């Protein structure tokens, strides 16, 4: 029987607006049940047992005159209704008005209602002093989130700020003294300071930001009048003290400052009182932190302040200069007018006091937040449908730990796995996020998630958080589903109390209602149990049963779930006669095969089960969906006939959604049975049958055509869906061949009436999960424009050479002097003018150091000064270009220069004659040439002079300059300062999927390699590496078998490199499986990367690089980016070799940027050929493991080379010259195809050389012999 406490009834009477408007004096149980629900309290208990919930306690709520109580509410996300709900649990009145008594009473209440504290996600208590209650509940559930500090966030921050100020005592003293004299103030001043007329003024002054700001602001406007008034009084000691305070100019400036600094807190408090929207409150709180910290801290210190939870180390804090601090326009104006020496002396105290206020306020707000600021931002992103791709697995894991859904270490891994599965889920057919609320979105998503998913529990915890904490708004949610209360409804409910269905929950105001699912009765069809072989036959529903909408799909406006009363309806007999009259018209509709829309999915095949004609003339069809057997009620005008198969079939869903593929198969089985079509199969496999059925459907269901799909007579239709699962399971595929009933026994074969089965088998690959129908007729019916895969890979062949480069002491490009002399002369003039402005006129270096223009774009990372946009691009491309002698190819300052001088340290910098003579001093270059060795300005900054001034933090600035900040936003990778040349040590490398080229690049660059461990499974590649590098490479096992113990044994490593197989990632492979085929080896790279990364406090530089094909699915690329938490750089080998080879590179190598050619790179095919051979193409396409990749043209018909008047292909030795030494792969009696295979899988040597070059700033290098034989 239904019951509740008397205090609960009093609360309902007082706060249920609908009841208050009635004339009733008492609330009956019947009325209370409208608010609490017919299943109260068992339904609340059940929700809390299976779902995270939020506990609200509103203290001191009025129940009746001189009667108050504490209202206990439960908030949770209703997964059935798809919305957040707040339920009234009880109203309690502790014996004593203490927090301890309230805590005891609260525990007893939760125990009485069997509310499990293990699922308590968040707690809110409206009292200003929640400490005792929070501590008591934390003992029972340490992972509980407390929202109590939000109640008085503004007041607490205000109090902390005032008390932290060095002038706090004076400020509070002056306010109290003025308040004491308030009754005797003149009427004009009383009117201005009317806010002081409050008996609790002194007790709540510092914690009431609105009152304090009002009083402070008013006092600043009448400051002179107040000072004059107190000057007119006697000479008593108390009056003298007030006079002294009003003469204190520093104190007056502080009052002006507080009028400005308290305004944001007042605005926050106003939003809290008037709106109370929980998300808005959190967002505004984060905005306050940003505002207050930016008012006194440097940007880097702001980040440290947030990371330290508002308690930063003083030695890591940098304050803004005084002229940059935000102290308010009134303060600035007052200080501008008052520049006397006395005020100047006291400004130090004022600024110190202002900094103390800002720091204390910001720290108080940070500590009042229920979660760290990063967690709050990630929480909003996770819940937002648009933000799903912007969240990393680490952010989700951190939230899981904060909300206590990961009590064990292994749960963190399960949580991230669940999250990535959610991210990977197909979303192409989902409705636009703008068309649905967050609650609706997650209602649909949770239908797909597993019941025990940890990510599901985390989402339910987030959705359980309040929509608002404002008491009136929360109470409105409690009464939202109760409806209107009138005397007539009450009397009716009393008279029918015994007949009220006990299974309904009237507190659910949603139109969607759900009841516990029941097993289908024998008369009810279950389309999921149909055998894979026998065509599915079903029967219409003959009994009323409670059903729910199509599983894993979200209802549309016209597709709603059906709740049917289990009791027989006595009025059905009255309508029997009318139904019999319409039965004949419905015969062609009931049993019809149709296509219908279900929100979140492609158009789905189904079968009309029942027909209902509405009074307005519309017709509702109850449709049973193929595949999962669920039912939806849809208007007839929203359905399409099954015969339009080619128009409604969705290739994307067929390739990616297993349930859709199954539904198509089962619907085709029913269609084949109706049309009595017989098929001849070459095998007994289901795949073979599905190929035949699809071919038949795209061909127009011939020979029967669309008419053959119509339902049979009503009697036959009832038999269509009846089957015996046991029998069907034993029936072989061959038995599907049957003769037409009532017709000839001759078997009708599909190949006589439709597309040839052999053609279809080339188009549909069910094992791989893709559809690529190349038949023109089928493509036309599908309205699916086929893309030629060749066009994806095709790139235009360019015969243009890159810009010539300038080397040491002479130009190596024969055309360079002719073409560049005017431009070089113009640049020198600009630079001389710029140097004159700096050296003679004393101006700041706000010019481009490279060309001298004043239109600058970005700072120069190495020297004081800037770069324009054009020179920035040139600098990016050329800074890390090294020659064969190990030195930079271009000037370190301008990345150009016809003549350069080299630093005496190995593999260091070079400086051109123009930069040295113009920026340092005329004739300096000639003087430096006589010094041996000469140490450059970066190695010895004390030697710099003139306008060439190295930055003291250039080693960090140069990394920031090259930071990849395009595409998706990620936190920047850790930046390692460059290591001085005399402290660099040899490099230790782990190379996964090693191939044949990486060690070669390191040696070409001159790196001293202490250890090189390679994981490679291809025997030919291993042989090439071992022979060419004298066994210096340690070959290890398959990457999948490398464990953390191996890394600890072999390591530590300085560099991790690898590029997992691209076959399943490349879009040119129509049967690709993405990251779920061989592409999953990427996760082994990711796993080892996490194992090898040094801890945050470890200063040891650690670099990594991952490579893969450019032509991959955008989704796979985005997934890789999210795991590696960075965006790739696209580098195409065509810029440094005769062959196209565009690749993506992810990593934290300094200076990862596109490449340009060096003087020694062979850029055309002709340069790589042996004598007597002529290239027919300037560039060739990407050379792969496929033998025909050496030929050109769309169909591999053209040979790229002509020799003695005949066409010929590229020789292996010529192919090697693209980046390797000649005969590099001539080992182990390997044939042409084997050598091409290892070359086709290898990295481009010039590209990797370009990417590895910046590591010379970190690791030891040998002196590299130049090609002239000189050191």
The length of the chain in residues reads 1271
The answer to whether the beta carbons of residues 326 and 295 sit under 8 Å apart is: yes
Tell me the C-alpha distance between 1014 and 1018, whole Å. Answer: 12
**DSSP of 1136-1183:** TSSB--EEEEEE--TT-------TT---SHHHHSPTTEEES-SSB---
Residue 36 Cα distances to 80, 563, 873, angstroms: 18, 21, 68
Sheet containing 593-596: order of strands:
631-635, 619-625, 604-613, 593-596, 640-641
> What are the Cα distances from residue 275, in Å, to 254, 279, 474, 479?
32, 11, 12, 19
Q: Would you say 899 and 928 are in contact if contact means Cβ atoms under 8 Å apart?
A: no
Our measurement of the distance from residue 867's CA atom to the centroid of its chain's CA atoms, rounded to an integer in Å, reads: 34
Q: DSSP per residue over 798-842, as a string?
A: P-PPPPP---SSS---TTHHHHHHHHHHHHHHHHHHHHHHHHTS-
CB environment 452-473: b (16+ within 10 A), e (fewer): ebbbbbbbbbbbbbbbbbbeeb
The rounded distance, in Å, linking the Cα atoms of 1263 and 1147 is 27
Residue 1112 DSSP label: B
- The residue assigned the tokens 């990510």 is 455
User: Are the CB atoms for 890 and 878 separated by under 8 Å?
Assistant: yes
- Give the whole-angstrom CA distance, residue 1227 versus residue 1231: 9
Helix axis angle, 341-368 relative to 249-261, nearest 10°? 30
Identify the active-site residue in 105, 1062, 1126, 1261: 1062
For the chain, give the longest Cα–Cα distance.
128
Q: Which residues pair with 146 in a beta bridge?
A: 123
Q: Are 643 and 690 in contact (CB under 8 A)?
A: no
- Dist. CA 887–CA 1257, nearest whole Å: 11
C-alpha distances out from residue 1239 to 761, 1215, 1219, 1235, Å: 34, 8, 10, 6
- CA–CA gap between residue 562 and residue 632 (Å, rounded): 7
Q: Which two tokens stand for residue 605?
A: 């095949």
Please choose, from the candidates 374, 356, 376, the residue with its C-alpha nearest in 3D space to the C-alpha of residue 364: 356
Phi/psi for 191 (5° steps) reads: -65, -40
Q: Report the candidate in 1231, 1166, 1251, 1160 with the shortest Cα–Cα distance to residue 1200.
A: 1166
Reply yes or no on whether 939 is catalytic.
no
Alpha helices (runs of H) in 16-98, residue ranges in sequence order: 17-20, 29-36, 42-50
Helix (H) or strand (E) holding 611: strand 604-613
User: Of 462, 492, 460, nearest to 381 (Cα)?
Assistant: 462
First to last CA, the chain: 98
User: For 1084-1093, b where at least 16 C-beta lie within 10 A, e where not — what string?
Assistant: bbeebbebbe
Q: Is 892 left (phi over 0), alpha (psi -120 to 50) or beta?
A: alpha
Catalytic residue IDs? 1062
């Amino acid at each position: 029987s239904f019951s509740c406490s008397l205090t609960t009834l009093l609360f309902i009477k007082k706060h249920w607006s609908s009841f208050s408007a009635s004339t009733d004096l008492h609330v009956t149980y019947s009325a209370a049940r409208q608010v609490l629900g017919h299943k109260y309290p068992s339904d609340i208990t059940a929700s809390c047992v299976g779902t995270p919930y939020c506990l609200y306690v509103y203290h001191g709520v009025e129940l009746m005159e001189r009667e108050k109580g504490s209202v206990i509410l439960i908030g949770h996300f209703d997964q059935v209704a798809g919305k957040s709900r707040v339920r009234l649990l009880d109203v309690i009145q502790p014996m004593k008005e203490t927090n301890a008594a309230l805590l005891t009473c609260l525990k007893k209440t939760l125990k009485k209602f069997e509310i499990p504290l293990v699922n308590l996600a968040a707690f809110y208590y409206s009292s200003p002093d929640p400490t005792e209650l929070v501590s008591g509940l934390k003992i029972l559930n340490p992972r509980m989130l407390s929202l109590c500090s939000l109640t008085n966030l503004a007041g607490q921050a205000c109090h902390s700020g005032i008390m932290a100020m060095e002038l706090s005592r004076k400020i509070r003293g002056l306010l109290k003294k003025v308040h004491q004299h308030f009754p005797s103030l003149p009427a004009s001043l009383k009117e201005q300071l009317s806010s002081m007329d409050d008996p609790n003024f002194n007790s709540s002054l510092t914690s009431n930001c609105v009152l304090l700001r009002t009083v402070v602001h008013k006092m600043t406007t009448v400051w002179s009048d107040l000072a004059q008034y107190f000057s007119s009084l006697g000479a008593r000691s108390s009056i003298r003290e007030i006079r002294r305070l009003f003469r204190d100019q520093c104190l007056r400036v502080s009052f002006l400052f507080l009028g400005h600094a308290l305004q944001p807190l007042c605005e926050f408090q106003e939003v809290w009182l008037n709106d109370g929207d929980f998300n808005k409150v959190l967002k505004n709180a984060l905005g306050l932190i940003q505002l207050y910290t930016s008012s006194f801290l440097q940007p880097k210190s702001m980040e440290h302040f947030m990371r330290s939870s508002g308690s930063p180390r003083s030695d890591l804090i940098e304050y803004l200069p005084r002229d940059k601090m935000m102290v308010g326009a009134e303060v600035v104006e007052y200080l501008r007018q008052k520049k006397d020496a006395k005020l100047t002396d006291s400004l130090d105290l004022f600024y110190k006091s202002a900094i103390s206020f800002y720091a204390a306020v910001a720290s108080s707000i940070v500590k009042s937040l229920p979660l760290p600021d990063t967690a709050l931002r990630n929480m909003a992103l996770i819940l937002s449908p648009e933000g799903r791709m912007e969240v990393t697995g680490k952010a989700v894991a951190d939230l899981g730990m904060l909300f206590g859904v990961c009590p064990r270490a292994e749960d963190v891994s399960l949580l991230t796995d669940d999250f990535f599965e959610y991210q990977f889920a197909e979303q192409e057919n989902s409705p636009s996020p703008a068309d649905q609320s967050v609650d609706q979105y997650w209602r649909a998503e949770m239908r797909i998630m597993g019941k025990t998913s940890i990510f599901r529990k985390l989402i339910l915890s987030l959705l359980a958080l309040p929509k608002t904490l404002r008491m009136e708004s929360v109470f409105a949610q409690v009464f939202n589903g109760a409806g209107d209360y009138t005397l007539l409804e009450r009397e009716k409910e009393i008279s029918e109390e015994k007949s009220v269905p006990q299974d309904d929950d009237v507190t659910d105001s949603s139109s969607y209602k759900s009841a516990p699912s029941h097993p289908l009765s024998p008369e009810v069809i279950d389309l999921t149990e149909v055998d894979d072989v026998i065509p599915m036959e079903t029967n219409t529903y003959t009994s009323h049963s409670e059903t729910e909408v199509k599983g894993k799909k979200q209802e549309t406006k016209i597709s709603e779930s059906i709740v049917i009363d289990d009791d027989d309806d006595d009025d059905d007999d009255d309508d029997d006669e009318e139904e019999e009259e319409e039965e004949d018209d419905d015969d062609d509709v009931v049993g019809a095969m149709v296509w219908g829309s279900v929100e979140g999915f492609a158009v789905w095949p189904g079968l009309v089960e029942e027909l209902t004609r509405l009074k307005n003339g519309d017709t509702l069809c109850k449709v049973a969906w193929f595949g999962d057997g669920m039912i939806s009620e849809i208007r007839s005008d929203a359905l399409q006939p099954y015969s339009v198969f080619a128009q409604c079939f969705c290739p994307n869903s067929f390739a990616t959604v297993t349930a859709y593929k199954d539904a198509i198969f089962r619907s085709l089985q029913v269609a084949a049975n109706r049309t009595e079509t017989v098929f001849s199969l070459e095998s007994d496999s289901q795949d073979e049958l599905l190929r035949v059925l699809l071919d038949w459907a795209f061909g127009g269901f011939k020979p029967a055509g669309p008419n053959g799909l119509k339902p049979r007579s009503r009697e036959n239709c009832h038999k269509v869906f009846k089957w015996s699962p046991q029998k069907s399971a034993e029936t072989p595929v061959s038995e599907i061949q049957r003769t037409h009933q009532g017709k000839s026994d001759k078997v009708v074969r599909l190949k006589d009436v439709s597309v040839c089965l052999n053609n279809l088998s080339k188009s549909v690959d069910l094992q791989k999960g893709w559809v690529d129908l190349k038949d023109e007729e089928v493509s036309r019916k599908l309205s699916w424009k086929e893309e030629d895969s060749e066009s994806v890979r095709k790139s235009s062949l360019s015969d243009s050479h890159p810009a010539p480069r300038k080397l040491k002491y002479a130009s190596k490009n024969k055309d360079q002097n002719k073409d560049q002399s005017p431009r070089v002369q113009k640049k020198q003039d600009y630079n001389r003018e710029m140097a004159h402005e700096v050296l003679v006129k004393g101006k700041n270096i706000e010019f481009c150091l490279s060309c001298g223009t004043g239109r600058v774009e970005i700072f120069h990372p190495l020297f004081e000064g800037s770069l324009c946009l054009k020179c920035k691009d040139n600098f990016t491309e050329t800074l890390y270009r090294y020659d064969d002698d190990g030195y930079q190819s271009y000037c370190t300052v301008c990345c150009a220069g016809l003549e350069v001088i080299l630093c005496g340290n190995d593999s260091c910098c070079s400086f051109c004659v123009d930069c040295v003579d113009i920026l340092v001093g005329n004739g300096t270059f000639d003087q430096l040439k006589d010094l041996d060795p000469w140490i450059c300005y970066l190695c010895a900054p004390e030697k710099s002079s003139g306008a060439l001034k190295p930055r003291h933090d250039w080693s960090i600035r140069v990394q920031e300059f090259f930071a990849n900040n395009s595409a998706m936003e990620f936190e920047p990778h850790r930046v390692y300062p460059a290591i001085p040349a005399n402290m660099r040590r040899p490099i230790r490398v782990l190379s996964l999927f090693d191939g044949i080229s990486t060690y070669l690049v390191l040696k070409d660059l001159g790196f001293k390699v202490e250890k090189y461990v390679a994981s490679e499974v291809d025997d030919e590649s291993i042989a090439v590496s071992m022979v060419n590098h004298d066994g210096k490479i340690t070959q290890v096992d398959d990457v999948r078998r490398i464990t953390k113990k191996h890394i600890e044994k072999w390591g530590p490593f300085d560099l991790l490199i690898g590029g997992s197989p691209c076959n399943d990632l490349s879009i040119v492979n129509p049967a690709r499986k993405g990251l779920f085929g061989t592409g999953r080896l990427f996760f082994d790279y990711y796993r080892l990367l996490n194992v090898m990364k040094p801890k945050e406090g470890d200063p040891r530089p650690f670099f990594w690089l991952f490579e893969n094909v450019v032509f991959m699915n955008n989704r796979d690329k985005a997934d890789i980016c999210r795991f590696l938490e960075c965006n790739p750089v696209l580098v195409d080998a065509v810029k440094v070799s005769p062959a196209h080879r565009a690749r993506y590179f992810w990593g934290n190598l300094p200076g990862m940027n596109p490449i340009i050619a060096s003087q020694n790179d062979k850029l055309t095919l002709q340069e790589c050929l042996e004598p007597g051979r002529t290239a027919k193409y300037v560039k060739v396409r990407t050379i792969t493991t496929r033998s025909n990749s050496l030929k050109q043209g769309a169909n591999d018909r053209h040979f790229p080379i002509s020799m003695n008047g005949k066409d010929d292909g590229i020789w292996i030795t010529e192919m090697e010259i693209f980046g390797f030494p000649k005969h590099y792969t001539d080992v182990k009696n390997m044939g042409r195809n084997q050598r091409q295979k290892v070359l086709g899988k290898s990295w481009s040597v010039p590209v990797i050389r370009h990417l590895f070059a910046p590591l010379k700033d970190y690791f030891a290098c040998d002196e590299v012999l130049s090609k002239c034989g000189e050191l």
